[in-house]
């Protein structure tokens, strides 16, 4: 990271039920590089939900957003 770089921290849903969280293991890098950390959560933007859905549908339809799928048949 460059000095005064910006890092956006988004909801950490994958870490909610993990016994040994790996969240921010390299936080010590932020201080000597004077990094700016800005966290947000989906609950902060419920007011934009309808606009998001409308825009996302258009972007997917136009091919600007590609969906990735991995389909595996059977059980291991």
Query: Domain for residue 72, yes or no?
Result: no
Query: Domain for residue 53, yes or no?
Result: yes
Domain membership of residue 30 as a residue range: 6-16+26-62
Q: Could you give the residue ranges of the DSSP H alpha helices within the chain? A: 49-62
Query: Domain for residue 1, yes or no?
Result: no
Query: Domain for residue 69, yes or no?
Result: no
60: left (phi > 0), else alpha (psi -120 to 50), else beta? alpha
Query: Domain for residue 74, yes or no?
Result: no
Residue whose entry in the numeric block shows the structure tokens 């595996």:
72
Query: Domain for residue 73, yes or no?
Result: no
Q: What is the pTM of this model?
A: 0.44
Instruction: Give the integer Cα–Cα distance in Å for 21 and 11.
Output: 14
> Which tens digits make up the pLDDT trace of 10-62?
666 666 677 776 666 667 777 788 888 887 777 888 899 899 899 989 998 99
Query: Domain for residue 54, yes or no?
Result: yes
State how far the alpha carbon of 2 is from the alpha carbons of 5, 31, 32, 62, 67, in Å.
5, 12, 10, 35, 32
How many domains does the chain fold into? 1
Query: Domain for residue 48, yes or no?
Result: yes
């Amino acid at each position: 990271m460059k000095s005064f770089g910006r890092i956006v921290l988004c909801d950490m849903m994958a870490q909610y039920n993990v016994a040994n969280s790996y969240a921010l293991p390299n936080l010590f890098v932020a201080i000597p590089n004077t990094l700016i950390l800005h966290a947000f959560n989906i609950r902060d933007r419920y007011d934009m939900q309808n606009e998001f859905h409308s825009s996302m549908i258009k972007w997917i339809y136009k091919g600007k957003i590609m969906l990735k799928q991995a389909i595996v048949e059977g059980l291991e």
